[in-house]
């Protein structure tokens, strides 16, 4: 069980790193003209970060988390339900970022740099809530 827990934490750290960095790249990308050399560089960076790190890390986090909850018989626990709600929201943020990577790739960015700055704060807030739920198990 400790191995599964370690793998869950490792995959979560990788996923969170990607969720912190990807919107930050988008902040800078939104401020450069479409088709410029800088824009093309951001496109490559965003796509690689999403496909090589964020997507596999999210999948691994879900797999190891479900495995861990099953091994620990934690499914009836209310703190786990709250944590899962936060992880579902985090996954929705991930899907939004994936959509924006595709739109940037097609030179159709719909948002300002300020929008991506705000989006950049959502994973941090969710991470804080998740950590407190897991450590304190308040209910």
Is 83 annotated to bind a ligand? Reply is: yes
- Alpha-carbon distance of 6 to 123, in angstroms, equals 21
Nearest to 14 by CA among 50, 68, 66, 67: 50
Give the pLDDT score at 20.
Answer: 98
Give the pLDDT score at 131.
Answer: 98
pTM as predicted: 0.95
Nearest to 16 by CA among 54, 47, 68, 51: 54
Q: What is the DSSP string of 7-43?
A: HHHHHHHHHHHHHHHHHHHHHHHTTS-TTSHHHHHHH
**Coil, strand or helix at 112:** coil
Within 13 Å of residue 63, how many CA atoms lie on the same side as its CB?
11
**Domain limits, the chain:** 2-136
Is 8 annotated to bind a ligand? Reply is: yes
pLDDT band for 8, please (50, 70, 90 cuts): very high
Rounded mean pLDDT, 21-30: 98
- Alpha-carbon distance of 129 to 47, in angstroms, equals 28
- Alpha-carbon distance of 50 to 44, in angstroms, equals 10
**If you search the block for the tokens 């991506």, which residue do you land on?**
116
**Cβ atoms 124, 17 nearer than 8 A:** no
Rounded mean pLDDT, 12-25: 98
Summarize pLDDT for 30-74 with one digit per residue, the tens. 999 999 999 999 999 999 999 999 999 999 999 999 999 999 999
**Coil, strand or helix at 75:** coil
């Amino acid at each position: 069980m400790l191995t599964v827990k370690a793998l869950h934490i490792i995959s979560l750290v990788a996923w969170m790193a990607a969720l912190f960095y990807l919107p930050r790249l988008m902040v800078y990308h939104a401020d450069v003209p479409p088709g410029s050399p800088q824009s093309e560089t951001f496109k490559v960076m965003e796509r690689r970060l999403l496909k090589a790190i964020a997507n596999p890390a999210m999948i691994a986090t879900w797999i190891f988390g479900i495995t861990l909850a099953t091994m620990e018989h934690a499914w009836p626990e209310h703190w786990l339900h709250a944590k899962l709600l936060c992880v579902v929201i985090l996954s929705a943020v991930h899907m939004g970022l994936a959509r924006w990577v595709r739109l940037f790739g097609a030179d159709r960015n719909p948002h300002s740099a300020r929008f991506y700055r705000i989006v950049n704060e959502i994973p941090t807030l969710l991470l804080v809530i998740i950590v407190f739920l897991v450590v304190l198990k308040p209910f």
